[in-house]
Each structure stands twice: as structure tokens, then as C-alpha cells.
Amino acid sequence: MDETSENNPRSTIQVILGFLLGIVIALGSLFFTIFLGSALHLRQQWLFPALTALGIIAVGIVALRQMRESSYALGVVIALSLALLLDAACGVAFFR
């Protein structure tokens, strides 16, 4: 466990900046989904959280692949994970 921390030290500032970048990416995905849904005249409300989740998952996979090399990617993955949880809660709320 100590060997991995010596080989790849994480910068807290970079993780925080990556977290803020992840929040911006999640909000961008939300606004893009709203724009796309209004352009396509979607009537089913559950499609909005589903499309947002697809965008968040796609960016999350890219960030997850880069997580070992970059502290920024770690922050992005943390933020997108939280955004995906909130998106799932919104999706469940549409079915009630």
C-alpha cells in the first residue's frame, strides 16, 4: 500500500480542481440533454435522466481510464459518480 502512494502521489488541489471540472461536465451533460430533448420534442419525462446518465457514463469511462495517471481524472470520477447517483434519484422520482 505504501509503494503505490510513493510511486503516484496525489495532489489534493488537482483532485479538487478535477472535482469542479466533473461538476461542470455533469451540468453540461444536463443542459445538453435538455436542449436535445426540447429539439426532439420528447414527451416522456423519464428520457431526460436516462440521456443524462448516458452522457455521464460515457465521460466517466474516459476519466476512469485516465485515473491512474492523473489526479484531475480522480476528481472527475468522484464528481461524476455523485452526479450519477443524483440522476438516478431524479429518474426514480419520475416513476412515482
Average pLDDT, stretch 73-82?
95
Question: Quick check: 6 pLDDT over 60?
Answer: no
Question: Quick check: 33 pLDDT over 70?
Answer: yes
The model's pTM: 0.83
Q: What is the percent of the chain where pLDDT is above 70?
A: 92
pLDDT tens-digit map of 46-67: 888 889 999 999 999 999 999 8
As a whole number, the mean pLDDT across the chain is 88
Q: Rounded distance, CA 5 to CA 1, Å?
A: 7
